[in-house]
Amino acid sequence: MTPEFRQHLFDVRDNAKQLYSMEQIDQAILDMAAAINRDYADRDPLLLTIMNGGVVLMGKLLPLLEFPLQIDYLHATRYRGDTSGAVIEWIVTPGLSLKGREVIIVDDILDVGATLLAIVDACEKQGAASVATAVLVDKVHDRKAMPGIKADYTGVEAEDAYLFGCGMDYREYWRNMPGLYAVAEQQEQKQ
């Protein structure tokens, strides 16, 4: 990392607008867990985390779920460190069989939704009995890959800005920020 890029990362953090505090995020995850507990109490789901963004939500959600479950992960991306998406790239596929399983996909954000739709489709093609989606953030805009797309479980809604924190990154950094932040417009222009 160059000193200039390091300074840029700190400038992005320091000029960002906080949309949600960590306390608000934690409450949203508690609410999601309550809904999932209600819906899956008597079922045998497989929670499938989308790496790397879904790791924070999964880590906070798991201890709140009150029924037996299995977990696995996959890694699919459209960004690869960039701030805009391209073609979906499959890096790691799930290790457990999805055949006949009730799958809950856990991810950080529903932005356009192309990645999430592709993952749902892939799970269905692998024989999943059902596929539900749980996202920490639903970004509000009119560019969704499918009109009206919504996750089955959503923590919070956020404005149409470049977001980071709670697992979401800015150029592969700041996933560790507590809370949800929007990159300031002047910082977006410096990308």
All structural domains of the chain with their residue ranges: 17-156
**Of residues 41, 39, 20, 46, the one with CA closest to residue 108:** 20
Q: What's the predicted TM-score (pTM) here?
A: 0.89
pLDDT tens for residues 147-187? 889 999 999 999 999 999 999 999 999 999 999 999 997 65
Q: What CATH topology corresponds to 17-156? A: Rossmann fold (3.40.50)
pLDDT tens for residues 46-97? 999 999 899 999 999 999 999 999 999 998 776 555 545 556 677 777 888 9
Report yes or no: 177 and 164 within 8 Å, Cβ to Cβ: yes
